Amino acid sequence: MASGPDVPHHPDGGPAPGVGRADAADDDAVGTAVPRLEMRGIGKAFLGTVVLADVDLTCAAGEVHAVVGENGAGKSTLMKVLAGVHPPDAGEIVIDGVPHTFHHPVQAQAAGVAIIYQEFNLLPERTVAENVWVGREPGRFGLVDRARMRADTQRLLDELGERSFGPRTPVRALSVAQQQVVEVVKARSLDARIVVMDEPTAALADDEVDQLLALVRRLRDQGLAVLYISHRLREVFAVADRITVLKDGRRVDTFSAADTTAGRLVKSMVGRELDAYFPDRAAPDELGAVRLAVRGGANAVLDGIDLDVRAGEIVGIAGLQGAGRTELARAVFGADPFTSGTVEIDGRSRRLRSPRAGIGAGLGFLTEDRKAEGLVLGQSVRDNTLLARRSGAARGRRRAGTTDVEALTRSTELRAASLEQEVRFLSGGNQQKVVLAKWLALEPGVLLFDEPTRGIDVGAKAAIHDLMRDLARQGRAIVMISSELPELIGMSDRIVVLHEGRIAGELPAGATEQQVIALAAGHHLDDVDETGDAVPGGGAPGDDAAGGGATGDATGGEPRP
Ligand SMILES: Nc1ncnc2c1ncn2[C@@H]1O[C@H](COP(=O)(O)OP(=O)(O)OP(=O)(O)O)[C@@H](O)[C@H]1O
Ligand SMILES: [Mg+2]
């Protein structure tokens, strides 16, 4: 688990030598040295819609500058301007005192800007060294100098303190976090002086997040300027020296991380205070009939799964990476079916052998991998929302009448110019809200949510939490997977903990993080109760809504006032 916002900054030493430090909230307070990066008065409009207006952003060598803000605030667009993907309409980019005009990513790369995208472009069958040097292999006598390629790669890996793999390791053998390291090595080999990471932890397993944060700190200590975008405020506070808030394409604040709180940051982002509370849980008399029942569910990953979810109930599924959480949802849905055991939906025994069958049986499954969800990027928000509903999959269950797309998208806090806007022009978080609306349009009786708020901004997160509780109140049965423990604990009426494909135990509403973690690690509940006390009073306002700190659990279980 990453450390909370209260963790002191740079426990492993001060800034890189000779580096101006940001010690005031003032945007330009980076000492007397010329900042590594200055973006001044950046403006950008798409088809007449202003997306960035007069944005200033500076970053010193040896500084981590986080950029935060709501979905659609302009964070990714600002970074794409820096990376030469979108030429700005106004403003200038100055790197080490030299003004630049980028019209192409290659120009930005040559000026020392590296952007690490979420989807990597690595070649899985090639080695790490081959991937780092692909297209610009060092030569000797007309031959590729493999020894030098490997040695240079090894040196860069050493610099980053990476020992878990080497230059000869094939990329296919690497985890997502390790592939991120390869991308960083590649950036270093290109002499990058500015590294941009746009939601780098969105695709990482919980235990990989700490590794990524350590990597960011190393880059900072090596004197790079790092721009870091994330919706998880805990991470932001763990690595950033300064934090800039964008709202509706404008810079509204730049804080020194040491001098601000999660609560203040949230207020700056969403323009109001957010309470740290989750919606009321279901009262016992609000629970109805069992809508989903699994008995003895087993397949290659899972074994002995017994699960009941009632109408009105939200059941959280916890477990470490690889414990089988997503596999459980996929098995219920019919994507990777159980090979033995039974699944009953609304009292009817079902043999679901495909997602299509799952939809037909009244299941909805918001997957963790939104890319595979099949948004049709060239179609409108409205058409995408109605896509699944219009398809044959839901035939028979489809009711007559129209779907109120407007109400659906509003309930997810979607920000789009209009319902006719093509989804490819939406920000990442807003695309995810369309996926959610698409599932809701099908009106499934049983909803499986895998990481429902990943990539969603803090304000919209609270709205989606309320929405999930409303769905339960309307009689839906909900299964929820979330790596953010405060969210899982705050939302669930019951938590089923998986360990190595089996149910390790079940915890009632209001369980503590320690209890969940202990069960997930394979300990017995009896041992857990001894030590499973919540830490009282942890977490600043808004912190839980933002993914919370490790100490945020005491408020996590409280109802909203
Ligand atoms: N190519 C494009 N054409 C038209 N509009 C675009 C384009 N790219 C982005 N936009 C719009 O620019 C705005 C900012 O989007 P951007 O992706 O920068 O947001 P973001 O802050 O990164 O949000 P998120 O947190 O959801 O990733 C959004 O309103 C988006 O719809
Ligand atoms: Mg973005």
Q: What pLDDT does residue 24 have?
A: 38
Residues 99 and 226 in one domain: yes
Total count of domains within the chain: 2
What is the pLDDT averaged over residues 450-461? 89
Q: What pLDDT does residue 527 have?
A: 56
Q: What pLDDT does residue 377 have?
A: 87
Residue 154 lies in a domain: no
Residue 434 lies in a domain: no
For the Cβ of 77 lying below 6 angstroms from any atom of ligand 1, the answer is yes
Q: Of 235, 270, 305, which residue constitutes the final position of a domain?
A: 270
DSSP letter at 424 equals: G
Residues 217 and 360 in one domain: no
Tell whether the model's pLDDT for residue 12 goes beyond 60.
no
Residues 250 and 318 in one domain: no
Residue 546 lies in a domain: yes
Closest CA to 370 of 437, 446, 435: 435
The CATH number of the domain holding residue 499 is: 3.40.50.300
Residues 266 and 290 in one domain: no
Which value, to the nearest 10 degrees, does the dihedral of the CA atoms of residues 528, 534, 538, 542 take? Answer: 90
Ligand 1 atom closest to 431 (CA):
26
Tell whether the model's pLDDT for residue 424 goes beyond 80.
yes
Q: pLDDT band at residue 371, thresholds of 50, 70 and 90?
A: low
Q: Of 243, 270, 297, which residue constitutes the final position of a domain?
A: 270
Residue 487: which domain range? Answer: 284-371+444-555
Tell whether the model's pLDDT for residue 372 goes beyond 80.
no
What is the pLDDT averaged over residues 383-406? 69
Q: Output the pTM of the full model.
A: 0.82
Residue nearest to atom 19 of ligand 1 (CA): 72
What is the pLDDT averaged over residues 437-452? 92
For the ranges 308-312, 481-485, 515-519, the lowest mean pLDDT is seen at 481-485
Q: In the structure encoding, which two tokens stand for residue 484, read together? A: 């953010």
Ligand 1 atom closest to 432 (CA):
26
Residues 238 and 301 in one domain: no
Mutate to test the pocket of ligand 1, among 51, 198, 435 (most ligand atoms within 8 A of CB): 51
What is the pLDDT averaged over residues 436-465? 91
Residues 257 and 205 in one domain: yes
Cβ–Cβ < 8 Å for 281, 559 = yes
What is the pLDDT averaged over residues 421-445? 90
Cβ–Cβ < 8 Å for 192, 29 = no
Gap from CA of 86 to ligand 2 centroid (Å):
14
Q: What pLDDT does residue 539 have?
A: 37
Gap from CA of 43 to ligand 1 centroid (Å):
13
Mutate to test the pocket of ligand 1, among 46, 68, 457 (most ligand atoms within 8 A of CB): 46
More confident residue, 189 or 273: 189
Tell whether the model's pLDDT for residue 466 goes beyond 80.
yes
Judged by DSSP in three states, 44 sits in strand
Amino acid in position 3: S
Gap from CA of 198 to ligand 2 centroid (Å):
7
Residues 80 and 201 in one domain: yes
Q: What pLDDT does residue 392 have?
A: 56
Gap from CA of 486 to ligand 2 centroid (Å):
24
What does the alpha-carbon distance between residue 408 and residue 437 come to, in Å, rounded to a whole number? Answer: 6
Tell whether the model's pLDDT for residue 319 goes beyond 50.
yes
Tell whether the model's pLDDT for residue 217 goes beyond 70.
yes
Residues 292 and 364 in one domain: yes
Gap from CA of 67 to ligand 2 centroid (Å):
10
Q: pLDDT digit string (tens) for 252-266?
A: 999 999 999 999 999
Residues 453 and 350 in one domain: yes
Q: What pLDDT does residue 187 have?
A: 92
Tell whether the model's pLDDT for residue 127 goes beyond 70.
yes
Q: What pLDDT does residue 120 have?
A: 72
Q: pLDDT digit string (tens) for 471-514?
A: 999 999 999 999 888 899 999 999 999 999 999 999 999 899 99
SS (H, E, C) 58-117: EECCCEEEEEEECCCCCHHHHHHHHCCCCCCCEEEEEECCEEECCCCHHHHHHCCEEEEC
Residue 97 lies in a domain: yes
Ligand 1 atom closest to 70 (CA):
25
Gap from CA of 198 to ligand 1 centroid (Å):
13
Residues 212 and 348 in one domain: no
Looking at mean pLDDT, say which of 114-123, 252-261, 451-460 comes out highest: 252-261
Residues 473 and 513 in one domain: yes
More confident residue, 393 or 111: 111
Continuous segment of H or E residues that includes residue 440: helix 428-441
Residue 534 lies in a domain: yes
Q: Of 213, 247, 270, which residue constitutes the final position of a domain?
A: 270
Q: What pLDDT does residue 526 have?
A: 64
CA 199 to chain CA centroid, nearest Å: 6
Q: What pLDDT does residue 245 have?
A: 98
Residue 522 lies in a domain: yes
Write down the mean pLDDT value for the chain. Answer: 85
Mutate to test the pocket of ligand 1, among 77, 89, 458 (most ligand atoms within 8 A of CB): 77
Q: What pLDDT does residue 185 have?
A: 94
For the ranges 50-64, 279-293, 390-404, the lowest mean pLDDT is seen at 390-404
Residues 220 and 318 in one domain: no
Q: What pLDDT does residue 393 have?
A: 54
Mutate to test the pocket of ligand 1, among 246, 381, 426, 457 (most ligand atoms within 8 A of CB): 426
Residue 290 lies in a domain: yes
For the ranges 58-62, 211-215, 476-480, 533-537, the lowest mean pLDDT is seen at 533-537
Ligand nearest to the CA of residue 68, numbered in listed order: 1
Gap from CA of 154 to ligand 1 centroid (Å):
38
